[in-house]
Amino acid sequence: MTKYAHITGWGMAVPERIMTNAELSKLIDTTDDWIVSHTGVRERHIAAPDQSTATLAVDAALKALELACLRPDEIDLIIVSTSSPEHVFPATACLVQDAIGASKAGAFDLSAACSGFIFALNMATQAIRSESIKTALVIGAETLSRFTNWEDRNTCILFGDGAGAFVLQASDEPGGVLSAVMRSDGSGGDLLSVPAGGSHLPASHETVSKKQHVIQMNGREVFRFAVRVMESATRESLEKAAIPLEDVTLVIPHQANRRIIESAVRGLEIPMERCMVNVDRYGNTSTASIPIATIEAIGAGRLKAGDKVVFVGFGAGLTWGAAAAVWTGPFLAPVKRKVRPVSYRLYARTRSILRRLWRHIEGIIWGRNNLDW
Ligand code: ACO
């Protein structure tokens, strides 16, 4: 029997600190009017020094598990989509796995910039549909403020920090994520990039002084590309899922720029009320923007169980994609289990310390230089 991947839990986390356009206009030559009229952004959340991509991802993940009534050890797979990972390696997903105590989960990062959440959602869905796993945690998390050139008015006005997570669960009931479209065009890679810090241009005094470790963007070209692909990807994913556009309750686009969203909506010939927009309060949180917008739509009563929804995004790479789904909501457990994120954090921390300790003891028993075993 075909398995379906249902979205049964969700959670988001954004830093408390809000940076308004007025505050930005003290740092660079810009105005609130310019930013609002060209992008729709009014404010964005910026991570505190003790916050990072992993801490935001963990907060979002635990909320999603609580809503789905699942324990971390019931998760089979964790995918963290991010362009601002904690390190080159290990994967941010492994840090999340350890911090929540998901003892049976495989974990990896996915890098497809702002389209990453759609790509990750599709990967987890296919793993469920092929019955290789039953439960997945898909997280989009970013602290792009750490990769922003705060002197570049073309880019620093756009981005914000945050994380959003979905729990996916297998079921025989039709529904959940029904289709996805994933596309890439590497010939446009130079239009939006962080050039240094990888194997091509390793970090050096020179790369830092030339500001090659922060976001570089050709805004106009990215704008044109985004407008071109948003409508076609939305239509294609709906066609694959055999969902007529008229039946879609809500289109949830990547929140990069209000004008890009408006242009996609015009192309689709739907009213703006059928499209979720919250770029004004978060800016572009990259791969986290679609789950954050979804969760706000649920909170506002704009998305309910049984509704048909389409997610659509674009980003660096270039990448773009869309996914169509029937919204589900938490599976009703026979006896609703109490899931306590606080105790999971404590358990996970203890587990992590004990595992480190055990590795240390193993080293003593076997001898640090003895590899004959
Ligand atoms: N404040 C005031 N003036 C500004 C600012 C600013 N913050 N930024 C640019 N300007 C000026 C420019 O210098 C230019 O002046 P000039 O005509 O004297 O040269 C003028 O405003 C127009 O500049 P444009 O670049 O043409 O402005 P545009 O209308 O294209 O808006 C923007 C720029 C907002 C960046 C737009 O191009 C855009 O949103 N592009 C898409 C970016 C995007 O979505 N990126 C994220 C992709 S997702 C991911 O993967 C991370």
- Tell me the CA distances in angstroms from 116 to 185, 297, 317, one per residue in order: 14, 20, 10
Taking a C-beta distance cutoff of 8 angstroms, is the pair 330, 64 a contact? no
Q: What are phi and psi of 276, to 5 degrees?
A: -85, 130
Task: Give how many domains the chain has, as a whole number.
Answer: 1
pLDDT for position 369: 65
Ranges of residues in the chain with a pLDDT under 70 are 332-339, 368-373
Q: Residue 209 half-sphere exposure, CB side, CA atoms within 13 Å?
A: 3
Task: Give a yes or no: residue 72 inside a domain.
Answer: yes
Which distant-in-sequence residues (6+ apart) come within 8 Å of 170 by Cβ?
3, 4, 5, 6, 128, 131, 133, 134, 135
pLDDT for position 6: 98
Q: What are phi and psi of 304, to 5 degrees?
A: -130, 165
pLDDT for position 372: 58
User: Token digits for 304?
Assistant: 């309910």
3-state helix, strand, coil in the chain (%, to 5): 40, 20, 35
User: Token digits for 177?
Assistant: 């994520």
CA distance 112 to 315: 7
Q: Domain of residue 88: give its range.
A: 4-326
Distance of CA 267 to the CA centre of its chain: 25
Task: Give a yes or no: residue 340 inside a domain.
Answer: no
Task: Give a yes or no: residue 354 inside a domain.
Answer: no
Cis peptide leading into residue 72 (ω within 30°): no
CA distance 222 to 188: 9
pLDDT for position 336: 61
Say which amino acid occupies 58: V
pLDDT for position 371: 61
pLDDT for position 102: 97
Cα(154) to centroid(ligand 1), Å: 5
* Other CB atoms within 10 A of residue 363 CB: 12
Task: Give a yes or no: residue 333 inside a domain.
Answer: no
Q: pLDDT tens digits for 58-89?
A: 999 999 999 999 999 999 999 999 999 999 99
pLDDT for position 340: 77
Task: Give a yes or no: residue 55 inside a domain.
Answer: yes
CATH number at residue 147: 3.40.47.10
**Residue whose CA is closest, atom 42 of ligand 1?**
219
pLDDT for position 333: 62
β-bridge partners, 12? 164
Cα(288) to centroid(ligand 1), Å: 22
pLDDT for position 370: 65
| Tokens 């898909």, residue located | 138
User: Token digits for 62?
Assistant: 């635990």
* Number of the ligand 1 atom closest to the C-alpha atom of 256: 44
Pocket of ligand 1 (CB under 6 A): 30, 34-35, 38-39, 113-114, 153-154, 157-158, 192, 217, 219-220, 222-223, 226, 256-257, 284, 286, 315-316
Which of 38, 119, 287, 289 has most ligand 1 atoms within 8 Å of CB, for mutation? 38
Q: pLDDT tens digits for 275-326?
A: 999 999 999 999 999 999 999 999 999 999 999 999 999 999 999 999 999 9
Which distant-in-sequence residues (6+ apart) come within 8 Å of 269 by Cβ?
none
